[in-house]
Structure 1
Amino acid sequence: MTLVYDEAGTGAPVLLLHSSVCDRRMWDDQVPALAAAGFRTVRCDLRAFGDTPVSREPYRNIDDVQDLLDTLGIDRVSLVGSSYGGGVALEFAATWPARVDALLLLCAAVPGIEPGPAQREFGAKEDALFEADDVAGAVALNVDTWLGPDADETARQRVATMQRRAFDVQLAAGDEMVNPTGPTVDLTRVTARTLAVSGGHDMVDFQAAAAEAARLVPDGQLRELGWAGHFPNLERPAETTELILDFLSASGS
């Protein structure tokens, strides 16, 4: 399957990977700045998100990412991943370390770490809303859970729109939808310069995941944004864009 994607700019390639609450539109504020700074900026919708349909056959997200990069003629890339997309980025960097120059993880999921109590409680609430056919309530739950106190109404509406799109696509597919399988990865194989970012207002499970990613990846660095929830690039777009640019520039990407 070919992932739906768009790109802007020329120069060193950067691939932006979205969270499972959002789609590639979550990077709207970052793409122009990255392109203007001299980066070939690519963003895609993973399967079952945004404009990429669900899968009805077994697949791995990292294989889709590899196919996309091959299609674009990109041998080496810097990866910026948010939450679910951060987990995909980690899997890719551990599976094909020679293809990744730099790895920036924004409140990322970490392969191999089981959901903690906070995530399980959230999942139970979301499941109950779906059982009650309250999709709007499930959308509101995600908006309220994942956005920090600095998120304005525009950010809340953007997340609600993207989450509703994902739910609509996935619910329409029903039992025909196949979820991705993830490879068993050894994060010590990652060779890319890595920064794991956590949010001071994020769910404690993801704060712990960021610390674990920085610990497991060789020479991994950890940075906490005290003001942030789960989506710093939506909550303070300009500040997070500057962080991304500083990291990519320092890594020589």
Structure 2
Amino acid sequence: MILAHDMTGTGPDVVLLHSTVCDRRMWEPQWRPLADAGLRVVRADFRSYGSTPSAGGAYSDAGDVLALMDTLGIERAALVGASYGGRIALEIAAREPHRITALALLCAGLPDQGESEETAAYERREVELVERDDVRGAAELSARTWLGPEADAATLAAVAEMQLHAYEVQLGRVSKVPPGLRRPARTLAALSESPKYVQYEGDPPPCDCTHRTPQAPPSGRTALLSKHALAAADEHSGARDFDPDALATARVPALVLSGAHDMPEFRRSAARLAALLPGARHEEQAWAGHLPSLERPAEITRLLTAFLASSAAG
């Protein structure tokens, strides 16, 4: 399976990897400005998110990203990852450091970071809502939990919309990827600060978009085929453990961003990454929650544009 994706621009390659609270549409405020800055930009949906269908068995998100790069003829790229997308970027950096030119990590996680009580409480409430068949309520909970205090109503609605679609795919309620996901929704359009909203450059390449319902796990918490249940069941998890010490081999520029309003384990991981990655610079944003690229999109776009331009220049 080739991940659903968009590509635009010419120049050094950049791959944008989304949070599992969102899908590739979360990069709407950034992807065209990065292309306008002289970069070729790819954004993709992981399996079970956006326009990419669910997996029918074992798979690797890092492997899927590398396969997409191979398909597009990209030998090396800068990886920009938000949250889970940052973890996948780190997995690639640890296992295949020769494939990356730079890392920009926005509230990225590490495989051994543990789980705070705040995150555990959110997950319990999320599972409770989904098991009551209130998936919209669960999606709105996710948006409120992971966005920082500066997120406006349009941003909250956009994140809830992306999370709701992911739940529906993972719960087997979507038999075909809705055609509407190939064009941005109105709430997502509100995230773009450009006076002219940028449409996708075309539909994703052909893929089998029929949902394949995974083998149902037993019961209880893993009965919820959300991002947390996927992580709990090996046959459905796209992440693989890696040794964080292996990141010492990734000798590339790295920008590590964290948010002062994020969950504590992600803030701790950001501080560790600054020490683990030889070329890292850590910046904590006092205003940010877990999704800073959506909370202050223009500010993060400027940061990313400057960092990637500097990295490309060597």
TM-score band by shorter chain is over 0.9
Matched with 2:47 is 47
Matched with 2:301 is 241
SS of alignment partner, residue 30 of structure 1: helix
2: distance between equivalents of 1:70 and 1:167? 29
Matched with 1:187 is 247
Matched with 2:189 is none
**How far did 1:219 drift?**
3.2
- 1:225 and 2:285 correspond: yes
Structure 2 length as normaliser, TM-score? 0.78
Matched with 1:170 is 170
2: distance between equivalents of 1:143 and 1:11? 34
**How far did 1:187 drift?**
2.1
**How far did 1:116 drift?**
2.5
2: distance between equivalents of 1:90 and 1:105? 9
Contact 1:98 1:191 (C-alpha < 8 Å) held by counterparts: no
- Give runs of aligned pairs for residues 148-167 of structure 1, distance below 5 A: 148-167=148-167
- Give runs of aligned pairs for residues 52-201 of structure 1, distance below 5 A: 52-172=52-172, 173=213, 175-176=215-216, 178-185=236-243, 186-201=246-261
SS of alignment partner, residue 13 of structure 2: strand
Residue identity opposite 2:9 in structure 1: G
2: distance between equivalents of 1:157 and 1:181? 27
- Higher-strand-fraction structure: 1
SS of alignment partner, residue 197 of structure 1: strand
The Cα offsets for residues 194-227 of structure 1, whole Å up to 9 and x where unpaired, read as: 1110011111221111112212222322100111
The Cα offsets for residues 78-110 of structure 1, whole Å up to 9 and x where unpaired, read as: 000000000000000111111111100001111
**How far did 1:6 drift?**
0.6
Matched with 2:34 is 34
Specify whether residues 226 and 181 from structure 1 end up closer, same or farther in structure 2 by C-alpha distance, changes over 3 A only: closer
Task: Kindly tell me the number of residue pairs found equivalent between the two proteins.
Answer: 253
Contact 2:47 2:54 (C-alpha < 8 Å) held by counterparts: yes
Structure 1 length as normaliser, TM-score? 0.96
Contact 1:118 1:205 (C-alpha < 8 Å) held by counterparts: no
SS of alignment partner, residue 223 of structure 1: strand
SS of alignment partner, residue 258 of structure 2: strand
1: distance between equivalents of 2:12 and 2:281? 22
SS of alignment partner, residue 2 of structure 1: coil
**How far did 1:128 drift?**
1.5
SS of alignment partner, residue 110 of structure 1: coil
Matched with 2:188 is none
Matched with 1:25 is 25
2: distance between equivalents of 1:213 and 1:42? 24
SS of alignment partner, residue 210 of structure 1: helix
% same residue? 46
Is the deviation greater in 125-134 or in 58-67? 125-134
Gap regions ≥5 residues in structure 2:
173-212, 217-224, 226-235
2: distance between equivalents of 1:61 and 1:23? 14
Contact 1:48 1:169 (C-alpha < 8 Å) held by counterparts: yes
SS of alignment partner, residue 168 of structure 1: helix
Contact 1:81 1:88 (C-alpha < 8 Å) held by counterparts: yes
Gap regions ≥5 residues in structure 1:
none
**How far did 1:64 drift?**
0.6
The Cα offsets for residues 142-164 of structure 1, whole Å up to 9 and x where unpaired, read as: 01101111111111111011000
Specify whether residues 15 and 166 from structure 1 end up closer, same or farther in structure 2 by C-alpha distance, changes over 3 A only: same
2: distance between equivalents of 1:189 and 1:183? 17
2: distance between equivalents of 1:130 and 1:198? 29
1: distance between equivalents of 2:37 and 2:64? 27
Task: Indicate the structure (1 or 2) with the bigger Cα radius of gyration.
Answer: 2
Specify whether residues 76 and 68 from structure 1 end up closer, same or farther in structure 2 by C-alpha distance, changes over 3 A only: same
Residue identity opposite 1:45 in structure 2: D
